[in-house]
Structure 1
């Protein structure tokens, strides 16, 4: 069992089918802005299926716990473990799936009386009444549905990312990502899950990316906060993101047992490799670090006092998305 490599259409079909299976439980969790965003993603899905599948996963994250079945099924790991289907679905199959899901998003609340998405013969979905097998099928067309709510403005959604500057002496751990047109460095960390404690989120991310048990580190104080409001490509409005950056100190024995690479799952089933490098913090001024804190990192040693935790805002005037 492995990810079907045939193309973006197959990947999008998995995402759409997953949302269909969990529609009744998932739809009531979405607020009005998320429902409008769902419709927008589906309307643009045919032009970029892989991006649409990724955006569908990101959309439901703030509304579902990590163990929600739809959330698990839409993760890259969950998708890759589905059996391969050979050929990607033809337009005659994928387009009705998109149409049916758009219709349900436009017309249904999935509360037991309003329409929900169901499958008739495994390939041709339609919208039917949620009321058991005896309920009559009621096909609906998007053209007859009310106009969708306007898309939320940029930065209407707030996300929080925790990261750490992990020092061993004067060297600090950064994750270097080498791409075709850019190289950049980030402190290890990641997004806080809905309802997750900040300290627990930091411990989880450092264990996932570095293999670090924070119980073997010293410190843990918050040193910087950065407010990110940067536009990015794609139909989904960009979120506003707060970066909370902490400082930890470890000894060489702990460092010797840490990971040297970190892997990010990609929407197409591949992986992006991040190289964990140890950089003398005094040489960080010219590095392309994100959040853009290179000069400040150069001045911040493992024990340097911090008098102002607020970093300059990261906006379109000061940063370009790469």
Structure 2
């Protein structure tokens, strides 16, 4: 599960190896046993970025059939915390940095124009099943 935190035309991103061609990703992670989705998202964002968030609307639900993964992404709003105050060992892939990245810079970081467009337009169709992650430009 991931969070999209957008402020002033910038989106909160992690600089880390993603196992894909790009080295930036949205904050998020796995749900632990007995944990509600919203609680998991708040915990994961805090651990990976140092930012406290309030969970907003469900943006999209995608799947990766080969990996047996359901990808759930929520809108989130920053409520506090300190950017970059990463919990050591919070992620299996080391986090090199945390920053708000201009939406216009995302294509140079490996994100599609479609994903940028969705961010700028406020995710029309939010809350729906989108099929594979490629349907949202990821």
Would the TM-score normalized by the shorter structure come out above 0.5? yes
Cα deviation, residue 227, structure 1:
0.2
- Structure 1 segments unaligned to the other structure (5+ residues): 1-161, 231-238
Higher helix proportion (structure 1 or 2): 1
* TM-score with structure 1 setting the length: 0.35
In the superposition, relative to structure 1, how do residues 182 and 314 fare at CA in structure 2: closer, same or farther (>3 Å)?
Answer: closer
Cα deviation, residue 211, structure 1:
1.7
Pairwise CA RMSD: 3.4
* TM-score with structure 2 setting the length: 0.73
Aligned residue for 1:188, secondary structure, equals coil
Once the two structures are superposed, the pairs formed by residues 119-134 of structure 1 within 5 Å of their partners are none
Moved over 4 A (4+): 260-267
Aligned residue for 1:247, secondary structure, equals strand
**Which position in structure 2 is the counterpart of 1:16?**
none
Q: Which has the higher contact order (CA 8 A, sep 6+)?
A: 2
Q: Distance in 1 between matches of 2:108 and 2:117?
A: 12
Q: Tell me whether 1:276 sits opposite 2:98 in the alignment.
A: yes
**Which position in structure 2 is the counterpart of 1:258?**
83
1:307 to 109, 113, 125: 125
2:46 to 207, 217, 230: 207
Cα deviation, residue 200, structure 1:
0.7
Q: Distance in 2 between matches of 1:241 and 1:163?
A: 13
Does the 8 Å contact 2:16/2:97 carry over to 1? Answer: yes
Cα deviation, residue 184, structure 1:
2.1
Q: How many matched pairs?
A: 133
Cα deviation, residue 201, structure 1:
0.6
Structure with the greater alpha carbon radius of gyration? 1
